[in-house]
Amino acid sequence: MSRNRKRRNHEEGSAVAPQAGPRLPKGGIDRLGIGQAFAEYDAMLRDPQIYVHTPAFDAAIHAESGKYFFVGRRGTGKTALRRYCDQQLEHTRVLVPEVFMPSSSVVSLDLFKNAKKRPFRSLVTAFRRALQDEILAMWQQSHPGYVNTPQIIATELAQYGDMDFDNRVVRFIAQISRHLVSDDEQAWLTENKIAGKIADAMKHLGNGTAGQYTLLIDSIDDYWEGTEQSLVYLTAFMHACLELSTQVEWARVILFLRENIFERVRLQDSESSRLNNAVAGLNWTEEQLLELVEKRLNKPFNTKFPLGGPTWKAFFESPEEAWSEVIEACQKRPRDILVYVSNAIESAQSRKHERILIEDVQGARRRFSDNALKDLGDEYAENYPQIAVVLRRYYGLGRRYTYGGIESMLRRLLEDEEVKHLCGSWIFRHNTPALFIRLLYDIGFVGIKAPNQAVRFRALGPQDTSAPPVTDQTDIEIHPCYWEALDLQDLLVRSISEDQEFGSPGFVADLPEGLDPAGYSSRLEDLKKRLVELPLGMGDAPAFEDIVGDVIKLCFFRVLENVEPQVRDMEGRVIRDWIASNRAQSGFWEAMRVRYRALNVIWECKNYEKLGASDFHQTSYYLNDQSSRLVIVAFRGNDVTNTELQHIRRIAHDRRGFILPLTQKDLLTFIRQAANGKIKEDHIQDRYDAIARKIS
């Protein structure tokens, strides 16, 4: 199939150098493995030589760059960059704040929204003080016995140094807000100036010998609910990061943020120009993407092939055509490139090919396209819940649309009962063709084509967000990476008749228990209500067990199957609340199966806030090599205490197993993500990583 991209590459030259690469040794394809596309699971990233140094990487490593916010779409390398910084910088600490899902506000949100008013400045001050304390706690850890600590810093560390970051933030916000509510001007000024005094003392700490200390803030979207209050909190947090990084020479806060979340901050923040100058986009050139793949292709071999094209030519039979296929589909995102190439390698290996043939590349396109469409719906689920339902309505239709074609499509969508039920919170705000086209362009689903001009797709970075003008002469084209997943026809759609039925894409996974999307959404909403309203205590323990069982069935149905309640062992003595078969082939659950032989996943349910020694004594009996050395304990607390961590550490040492506690907040996160149509394991992976780090 001829594509515009291939023609352009033949006319202008591609990123693949014309020089022929060395011959691949016999059996070389069987040794290939280019690592995990998801950086949090990628063991290759332990090797500093595997990274590609883009401008964003250089800006992150060098404090004098003045860049503190690294913004990009999903799959552009934020987590990989964070891991590289954690390896290369002198003193680092990774934070995943949970405070961006605030439950209440003591001051009116209308007052918070103005970046120049006192309530907002109070939020900034509270966040900055909490960040300063985190930096100071790191400094104190690396300077034991230091005797010249300024009194204000010593006092601050004694009071708040051992506190969790989120609890510290909540404490400071409450303290400073009380004075705002009571209109106590003097007390507010006194409280507000503490952060500034601490910053002044930090400037002179250690007479310039403190070293460089860096906080790496990642995975904001795991706890950021997208509400107006969480948006205000995030905006204030970003201003606090900027102030600390620019005012204290040896302290720096680097924030890795999804582009769609940053866009919301920029739209509502009247002082966003202060932040814009500190933003670095995670953009990639074709040459950098080629280097990314070639370094990984070279990894298994002692003798490395040259970079810049020869390595690619050594592995691919039709290198220029293969590269055109890959780069056209992947929107210049490194994760997409790795997924696509990995699929092609697997195809070549399964067919016993000596090199990766063009049919391997083309055959991998459908699998890649299916995943790309799922990921797009997942990426923007926070902004536009269940947007995947709208995207799937294009199944079987055309690749290109006139303005009138989009108008008739939009009219059909606004009359669709399922779309109205699941997407009503946002689609009626985009009820004109121009607004709807802009939405589809912003998420990267379509490109815009003006008369006599080439189609233009959305850039990856945050710097260029303005769409081309939309008129009644505008055509749009669905991005080629989604053509196969939607089985689109090569035609221009001018209108959609009222009696034409929408197609049913084959890639949509069946929902659990035979539910349709509307019924699934209703079950999740009811589940959330049951959990929030359930009283604590043994009397309602069975009800809590039922809730946890429904969380497993409704939120993890893609990987956990055959969910059974109250399972006894052969002797009939040990009763597990829930047990589920682990069918995962990748990601977090597959890693648990390998690491802890978790062929089955055991869940225990405790309808109270604190776990005691008897709870851990009970769960330790469940650990064995035949079933699983992993037990998940769901309980009603807000966090895991140090005492509970001690029990988990003991079990990990004595029984070679792992107890993963999940709080009520975690369960609500799983429900929220499922309701928004998100298919991701980041949250439970982060909970596991956090516990593993604390007990190590």
Is residue 112 over pLDDT 70? Answer: no
- Give, for 631, the enclosing helix (H) or strand (E): strand 630-635
d(CA 60, CA 244): 16
Residue carrying the six token digits 């390896």:
87
Given 493, 524, 557, which residue is the final one in a domain? 493
Same domain, 67 and 195: yes
Helix (H, G, I), strand (E, B) or coil at 379: helix
Residue 181 lies in a domain: yes
**Which has the minimum average pLDDT: 125-139, 305-319, 587-601?**
587-601
pLDDT mean over 81-107 = 79
pLDDT of residue 506: 34
Q: Note the pTM of the prediction, 2 decimals.
A: 0.68
Residue 131 dihedral angles phi and psi, to the nearest 5°: -65, -40
Report the pLDDT value the prediction gives residue 191, as an integer from 0 to 100. Answer: 78
Note whether residue 504 is domain-resident.
no
Helix (H, G, I), strand (E, B) or coil at 79: helix
pLDDT at 244: 94
506 assigned to some structural domain: no
pLDDT given for residue 665 in this prediction = 92
pLDDT bin (cut points 50, 70, 90) of residue 282 is confident
Residue 45 lies in a domain: no
Average pLDDT of the segment spanning 10-32: 57
Q: How confident is the model at residue 592 (pLDDT cuts 50, 70, 90)?
A: confident
Residue 206 pLDDT exceeds 60: no
163 vs 502: CA distance, rounded Å: 54
360 and 456 assigned to the same domain: no
Same domain, 216 and 304: no
- Are 70 and 20 in a shared domain? no
> Greater confidence, 98 or 440?
440
pLDDT at position 457, please? 86
Residue 401 clears pLDDT 80, i.e. is over it: yes
163 plus 246 within the same structural domain = yes
Distances (CA, A) of 137 to 134, 150, 160, 583: 5, 14, 9, 42
Tokens describing residue 431: 């009820």
Q: Which of 363, 379, 395 is the last residue of a domain?
A: 379
What is the C-alpha separation between 387 and 198, in angstroms, rounded? 46
The answer on 298 and 275 residing in a single domain is: no
Residue 167 in any domain: the answer is yes
Report the alpha-carbon distance of residue 479 to residue 445 in Å, rounded: 6
Residues 474 and 332 in one domain: no
**Is residue 499 situated within a structural domain?**
no
Rounded mean pLDDT of 351-376?
85
Are residues 211 and 90 in contact, defined by beta-carbon separation less than 8 angstroms? yes
Q: Give residue 575's pLDDT.
A: 63
Largest CA distance in the chain: 81
* Whole-angstrom distance, CA of residue 219 vs CA of residue 599: 28
In a shared domain, residues 205 and 337: no
Angle CA 167–168–173, to nearest 5? 100
- Tell whether 574 and 605 lie within a shared domain: yes
Cα gap 176→123, rounded to integer Å = 8
**Higher confidence at residue 443 or residue 506?**
443
Identity (one letter) of the amino acid at 368?
F
Phi, psi for 253 (deg, rounded to 5): -120, 125
Transcribe 303-351 into DSSP letters: SPPPTTTHHHHHHBSSHHHHHHHHHHHSTT-HHHHHHHHHHHHHHHHHT
Lowest mean pLDDT among 223-227, 260-264, 364-368: 223-227
Domain co-membership, 539 together with 554 = yes
**Predicted pLDDT at 12:** 39
CATH of the domain at 541: 3.40.91.30
Q: For the chain, give the mean pLDDT.
A: 83
Cα–Cα distance for residue pair 454/376, rounded to 1 Å: 24
Helix (H/G/I), strand (E/B), else coil: 279: strand
Q: Is residue 650 part of a domain?
A: yes
What pLDDT sits at residue 646? 92
The model's confidence at residue 69, banded by pLDDT at 50, 70 and 90, is very high
| pLDDT band of 105, cuts 50, 70, 90 | low
In a shared domain, residues 119 and 221: yes
Q: What is the pLDDT of residue 2?
A: 41
Highest mean pLDDT among 128-142, 209-223, 340-354: 128-142
Looking at the domain assignment, is residue 502 inside a domain? Answer: no
pLDDT at 204: 80
Domains in the chain, number? 4
Domain boundary among the residues 257, 281, 305 is at 281
pLDDT band for position 19 (cuts 50, 70, 90)? very low
Q: How confident is the model at residue 586 (pLDDT cuts 50, 70, 90)?
A: low
Co-location of 117 and 234 in the same domain: yes
Residue numbers of the domain that contains 409: 387-493
